[in-house]
Structure 1
Amino acid sequence: MSSSDDIAVLANPRAGRGRHRGVLPAVLERLGAAGRTVRLLEAASAEDAEKVCHRAVTDGVAALVAVGGDGTVHRALQAVAGTGTGFGLVPAGTGNDFAAGTGVPSDPLSAAEAIAAALRDGRDRSLDLARVTTTQGDVRWFGAVLAAGFDAVVNERANRMVWPRGPRRYDLAIVLETARLRPRSYTLVLDGVDRSFDGVLAAIGNTSSYGGGLRICPDADPADGLLDVVVAAPLGRRELVRLKPRLRRGTHVTDPLVTSYRAREVRIDTPGIIGYADGERLAALPLVISCEPGALRLLR
């Protein structure tokens, strides 16, 4: 049993291809400057990680801190969402999109120091999270972006591939899926208004970026009580290639083939798509996504 003064830490030593592995002891030391006991959670799998996080929150820890990338954050968010437990983030992954979208320092040690200072001062920032309900009635939370179009198809293809390893697997998946690119008919209902469309891209953002800085929802604000929805009409392979460089700058939303919306609740469906949120495999569409204001107390 933990104390309510404890800081529970979920760390992924493989995040960012292990490049921050050696910094964890220093991160734990910086967190300890808050004057509380720092406890490293042990988990052998992603499922274990969620379980130990839920257990820590149930035990009443003062804060849960995720050290890793967006995948690690995603696991921890399932435990802290809507609970009032303080959440700290030490970015140590490849993309760190949620950290970037919420103003967390990019340097791991600076982020840890900011968390300790916030705990000492009793300071936190109230942020929105997105709540997803599946057809089975399961509930999942995400902090950054849910992909439900071509990008989700690429992720699904890459996850099925055993070769090559690393980023090249995603590069190959993009090539293979671009060759098969075809528009889909989407059912899209935003706050009860039908916005259904035919297209190749659909993203729902609480923050602005995914994929390590691709600003798919460039105007998303995680404190405005709304989700940003970006969709693209049917694009050919040439048009998709032309649009891709603009994603990093967020200027793709000015293209006449791209449409942006804001909504509190999003209902989305199309056959054959598995939604990916925070880069993690979520569930098959249809999905209902709602913005939950103040669901997260971010320590920073």
Structure 2
Amino acid sequence: MLAVTAADHPSVAPPADGPVAVLANPAAGRGRHRELLPQLLERLAAAGRPVELLRACTAEQAEQVCHAAVAGGAAALVAVGGDGTVHRALQAVAGTAVRFGPVPAGTGNDFAADTGFPADPLAAAEVIAAALREGRSRPVDLARITGADGVRRWYGAVLAAGFDAIVNERANRMRWPRGSRRYDLAILVELARLRPRRYTLRLDGEPVETDAVLVAVGNGACYGGGMRICPDADPTDGLLDVVVGGRFDRRTLIRVKPRIYRGTHVAHPLVHSYRARIVELAAEGITTYADGERALRLPVTVTAVPRAVHLLR
């Protein structure tokens, strides 16, 4: 099967003197880095290029203004926030020549961490500014999701299609309680309802059918703020790592879940790992989450796209 490359998609060649567009989410990380934004912009401006702060009030608007900035000639796009902010920005730069820099300022910063950016936002901004000054970038892979209706999305870290996606979906439907307690309650509700589901996968055309509780497709290793669900995933190898946790009961899942932070869960006899360029995934009643953001309902096809984004590193 032919490998898919970023060249298979329309590429935008940014002007050499184009501005640096900055998407900032002031609510990221519960707002703890909000006061750093002026310093971050100052560090980025030290690269000698004009810096334009993008304005958006919703996630959908954030995505729209990123697309507009790329279409309008931005030389680079910088996302200040967590994985959700990065996810929105990636929709605009994926498959283009517009360079990208994530400044980790959220609760979960898995894409930035997996691709080697400093955890400190100011240090990350300095790395990005240095890359801008020196005209360098590093290409890494992205994953592209295609739904049954042809809708496409991109992600950089992990696609969740099992218990974690189900919990996220329930939490997003709940109006009470607020904050992290809502997610905790959603976990309790879904643990009480836990049951393996029948999944059908095709890995580079090879069929696999299994009953499972956890299913993740990783371009990178981590999701959920450092959980190494796909511990061997490498965002430069042109492949996707698929981790499937089988017929866990509640007690076993609770016991295994903490091991995901270290990536040692893959040694459990009910966990199976695969690697493929193209992953077709189907199951009933599952809405996937990519980079922690609500994505597409199953069935989906996930494709590894080598060198799909050029990081300012």
Q: Classify the TM-score, shorter chain.
A: over 0.9
Q: Does the aligned pair in 2 maintain the 1:13–1:21 contact within 8 Å?
A: yes
Query: Structure 2: how far apart are the matches of 1:168 and 1:4?
Result: 47
Contact 1:31 1:112 in 2 (8 A): yes
Structure 1 CA distance for aligned equivalents of residues 61 and 214 of structure 2:
33
How many residues are treated as equivalent by the alignment? 299
Paired residue for 1:224? 237
Corresponding position of 2:209: 196
Q: Which residue of 2 aligns with 1:126?
A: 139
Structure 2 portions without partners, runs of 5+? 1-14
Once the two structures are superposed, what CA deviation does each residue of 1:120-172 show, in whole Å capped at 9, x if it has no partner?
A: 11111110000010111011000000000011000000001111111111111
Distance in 2, Cα, partners of 1:29 & 1:282: 34
- Which residue of the other structure, out of 108, 115, 128, is the alignment partner of 2:128? 115
Q: Tell me by how many angstroms 1:233 deviates.
A: 1.0
In the alignment, the residues of structure 1 paired with residue 208 and residue 273 of structure 2 have an alpha-carbon distance, to the nearest angstrom, of 11
Shift of 1:3: 8.6
Amino acid in the other structure paired with 2:111? F
| 1:122–1:13 distance in 2 versus 1, CA, 3 Å | same
In 2, the alpha carbon distance for the partners of 1:237 and 1:135 equals: 32
Aligned residue in 1 for 2:275: 262
Of 233, 248, 264 in structure 2, the residue corresponding to residue 251 of structure 1 is: 264
CA contact under 8 A between 2:17 and 2:49: conserved in structure 1?
Answer: no
The equivalent residue for 2:291 is 278
1:208 maps to which residue?
Answer: 221
**Residue 64 (structure 1) aligned to one of 77, 89, 94:** 77
State whether structure 2 residue 30 is matched by structure 1 residue 7. no
> Unmatched 5+ residue regions in structure 1?
none
Shift of 1:212: 0.8
Contact 1:158 1:169 in 2 (8 A): yes
SS in 2 for 1:195: strand
SS of 1:196 mapped into structure 2:
strand
The percent identity for this pair of structures is 68
Q: Conserved in 2, the CA contact under 8 Å of 1:227 and 1:264?
A: yes
For residue 137 of structure 1, the aligned residue among 131, 150, 156 is 150
| Structure 1 residue 4: Cα displacement | 4.0
How much does 1:100 deviate? Answer: 1.0
**CA-atom RMSD, angstroms?**
1.0
Structure 1 Cα separation of the partners of residues 149 and 141 of structure 2: 24
TM-score by length of 2: 0.94
**1:3 and 1:59 in contact (8 A); partners too:** no
Deviations 1:191-218 (A, max 9, x none): 0001121111110001111111111000
1:5 Cα deviation after fit? 2.5
One-letter identity of the residue aligned with 2:204: D
